[in-house]
Amino acid sequence: MLITSRAEARSIVDRSAGTLWYDRPADRWFEALPIGNGRLGGMVYGGTRTERIRLSESTAWSGAASTTDISPTALRELPTIRGLLFAGRYAEAQELAGEHLPGRMTSFGTNLPLPEVRLDFTEHRVDRYRRTLDLDSTVVTVEYDRDGAGVSREAFASNPHGVIAVRITTDDTNGVSFSLTLDNVVLPGSTTATETGVAFSGHAFESLHSNGREGVAVEIRAHVAAENGTVRSTGDSFEVANADSARLLIAVGTDWAGATAGRAHVGPRLLQMDGCPRLCPRHRPARLWQPACDVRLRHLLPLRPPCRPVPAAGSAGRVDTLRMRAG
């Protein structure tokens, strides 16, 4: 597998740690760093004034199941089309295939982009910026000095818990303040602030690949646990002020496999609105950042990655090409 990046992105390989690092935030989706758990994914931009995590979820599909989309003449004409191909009459086969094989899709649908989680911070002088993706632990880290004090954000996706988790810390006491909301919402629905964060309820409706009236129900919950400081809900945003640190848990669910299964990704796994029995910080098993395991959650993440980066032949120092090899 070969991965290439633009030279101006200044991608670096730390050979000993398997780490990609950059000295500036991402300006676009292709420059953001990915995290994911197989179902739920996020692209982390690493901004200092505004942090963005663009969400995606494998079952967030528009459209609906149908028994009438298959061409009724496809099976009948297939032997004829094959015969023409074997006879070398490709133009005739192409014409007949175009007439009979394509389905008559009425509302097939497609996977849709989800809103992005947006964190807004106050403006400060920023120095010594660095954002990294550790290919072993799959943790994205953003670090910089803010008016001389260190700031750190760590983000990863947990498969066992079914969430994206973010931790924000700073060297300053009471130095964590931000506003949380959901931005770039293209799906029909509503975003509201809750007592612990923000929530989105809507549907994966669109009219390019479906009829605009069918699609899964989508639920997004972003839950904040702040250490000290104050919190408040205002409209569709949630504000944290003067905290020592903060943890953000993001869950997405749909009713793709039925209403009960869809709710299981959001309710019991994260919030159950305000209960969140499994991941609430007041329950010890759910404290994702305990001193014993730190942010990398060694009890949740694989002991070794499926592949490790190897610098391309002839590369030295900064490289723009990585080879991924098994083991």
The more confidently predicted of residues 27 and 9 is 27
| Structure-token pair, residue 260 | 């009960």
* Cα 82 to Cα 70: distance, rounded to the nearest angstrom: 19
Out of 3.40.50.920, 3.40.390.10, 2.60.40.10, 2.70.98.50, the CATH code matching 2-63+110-326 is: 2.70.98.50
Domain spans, the chain: 2-63+110-326, 70-104
pLDDT (mean) for 279-307:
33
Please state the pTM of the whole predicted model: 0.72
- Which parts of the chain fold into alpha helices (H)? 74-86, 90-100, 259-266
The more confidently predicted of residues 127 and 17 is 127
pLDDT value at residue 69: 79
pLDDT value at residue 258: 63
For helices 74-86 and 90-100, give the axis angle rounded to 10 degrees: 170
Each residue of 264-282: pLDDT tens digit?
444 434 433 232 333 333 3
pLDDT band for position 259 (50/70/90)? low
Each residue of 134-143: pLDDT tens digit?
998 899 999 9
The more confidently predicted of residues 295 and 44 is 44
Each residue of 37-61: pLDDT tens digit?
889 999 999 999 999 999 999 999 9
* Cα 251 to Cα 194: distance, rounded to the nearest angstrom: 14
Each residue of 156-190: pLDDT tens digit?
998 888 889 999 999 989 999 999 999 999 999 99
Q: What is the DSSP letter of 284?
A: G
